[in-house]
Structure 1
């Protein structure tokens, strides 16, 4: 009896051992108690539901840790031009400044070498005309612009003994034929034949309300003893080129200089020069008025 009971116990133990070994090696789905038992299925499964694979996932949104953009660099401002001469200055450079301004009709009278109110006003006018700050001080920018427009003054120009104004560069339209070449910049009239200047003289023009017209014209007619039918003033040696505008002698210009202005005509103040010019000019000769 005892032997029979021992055989049954050994058989039961063998069955239990075989069942446990099959459970450990089974690859099926984990049961509800796997997590409690610490089975391989439980220990390798995530605690949350798995999401889509990375290859099929949507792009991750940008985070606040994205790289910051570098702010644009501020442009470096150009240094202010250096002041070379100003009110109260004296010396040879001031004299040269005045002589150069006189070449282009921005300074009347002889150079003095003293930077006074007249020079300040002349520099202001020159600067304003060219879009520069009208300070009246000669800075490096103003000086370089003036040098580019003028030539080195002669000894007579520096001393103020030069006769009359010096014509500037002739307009290209003045280089062929017989031309009355009239520059508003230098305030001069040059009598030019095929590019050669035969004579030149100081002139003045109309005011801002009655400006002298600019362009290319021709002498329409000449009148030695002309009198204006509008203003009833004498216009000796008149050479008309644009309607009622003419080149002619002006006694007012001779007396007052650039303190006055014409009603649009080109006034000449040297009577001897205009008389000689009148004798040479022919009807049909070209007239060029330019800056």
Structure 2
């Protein structure tokens, strides 16, 4: 009959256990047996995935950012557009810090103009319109008129030359790139214009219209010159389709090019031979 251990196991099992203890005592590497854990020996060399360890949840709130002084949400900032931006630009134009006609878009030019105004008023030069900036601007300007909000030209009309203040005059400014049709010092209509290049400059001075041609074609350059009003030899005020399409990137051969066809057509009908033309810088 086979001899059994106290738990009913064979005596051979007890002998094996004694052998393992002896081996461990002599420096041999024991077999590592792990539970339902991560050891490779317990799984025949296959690594089991481990469960992620979740850190204890903290109930403390993160610290709030430190604010030095009270902050306000901007009234207007770069990227904004609309009627309020147009009013902002018109008010800045009144103070001479915005050198273009209002567009209604808050871009880099408007940002620079706002900074210039803030510098003048010793306000933080943020380039955005904070309540303090807006209040200061409104207190130093008047409510823009319709023409100030939507001027007829893309560039502000400069103060007219003194020669343009009496009678009926086509007053042309090279400085602002505008033409103003004036009657006794009042601007009746205005339009954008461009001039000749440095090789064919537009003459400056006081002239008179000598000849009008509604559908004129240049005999030198063979180009159309609609609503031409000649004032100095071959130089004339006329509509330019090229100016309308390309803007100020081009130049004329000495004539005063007008971009707006409807406005030059109205001017053509309003003036006659002998009307004064003043071209000034």
TM-score, normalized by length of structure 1? Answer: 0.50
Contact 1:223 1:237 in 2 (8 A): yes
Q: Distance in 2 between matches of 1:155 and 1:280?
A: 26
Counterpart of 2:106?
113
Q: CA deviation at 1:113?
A: 3.1
Q: CA deviation at 1:164?
A: 2.6
Structure 1 residues 209, 138: CA separation in 2 closer, same or farther (over 3 Å shift)? farther
Aligned partner of 2:229 among 231, 236, 239: 239
Q: Distance in 2 between matches of 1:272 and 1:251?
A: 12
Question: RMSD across aligned C-alpha pairs, in angstroms?
Answer: 3.7
Contact 1:177 1:193 in 2 (8 A): yes
Q: Distance in 2 between matches of 1:105 and 1:214?
A: 27
Aligned partner of 2:218 among 225, 228, 231: 228
Q: CA deviation at 1:206?
A: 1.4
Tell me, what secondary structure is at the counterpart of 2:108?
Answer: coil
Counterpart of 1:219?
209
Counterpart of 2:251?
261
Tell me, what secondary structure is at the counterpart of 2:268?
Answer: helix
Structure 1 residues 192, 99: CA separation in 2 closer, same or farther (over 3 Å shift)? same
Structure 1 residues 108, 211: CA separation in 2 closer, same or farther (over 3 Å shift)? farther
Structure 1 residues 162, 98: CA separation in 2 closer, same or farther (over 3 Å shift)? same
The 5-angstrom pairing of residues 63-82 of structure 1 reads none
Counterpart of 2:32?
none
Contact 2:178 2:190 in 1 (8 A): yes
Tell me, what secondary structure is at the counterpart of 1:253?
Answer: helix
- Cα deviation code 1:67-108 (max 9, x no counterpart): xxxxxxxxxxxxxxxxxxxxxx9598xx7499749x999658
Unaligned runs of 5+ in 2: 1-76, 121-140
Contact 1:96 1:153 in 2 (8 A): no
> Are 1:164 and 2:157 matched, yes or no?
no
Counterpart of 1:206?
196
Q: Distance in 2 between matches of 1:106 and 1:204?
A: 18
- Cα deviation code 1:47-79 (max 9, x no counterpart): xxxxxxxxxxxxxxxxxxxxxxxxxxxxxxxxx
Q: Distance in 2 between matches of 1:178 and 1:216?
A: 13
The 5-angstrom pairing of residues 143-182 of structure 1 reads 154=144, 162-165=151-154, 166-182=156-172
Q: Distance in 2 between matches of 1:205 and 1:98?
A: 30
More helix by share: 1
Counterpart of 2:274?
284
Q: CA deviation at 1:238?
A: 0.5
Counterpart of 1:79?
none
Tell me, what secondary structure is at the counterpart of 1:288?
Answer: strand
Contact 1:179 1:192 in 2 (8 A): yes
Q: Distance in 2 between matches of 1:283 and 1:235?
A: 18
Q: CA deviation at 1:284?
A: 0.9
Counterpart of 1:42?
none
TM-score, normalized by length of structure 2? Answer: 0.51
Q: CA deviation at 1:184?
A: 1.4
Unaligned runs of 5+ in 1: 1-88, 124-136, 142-150
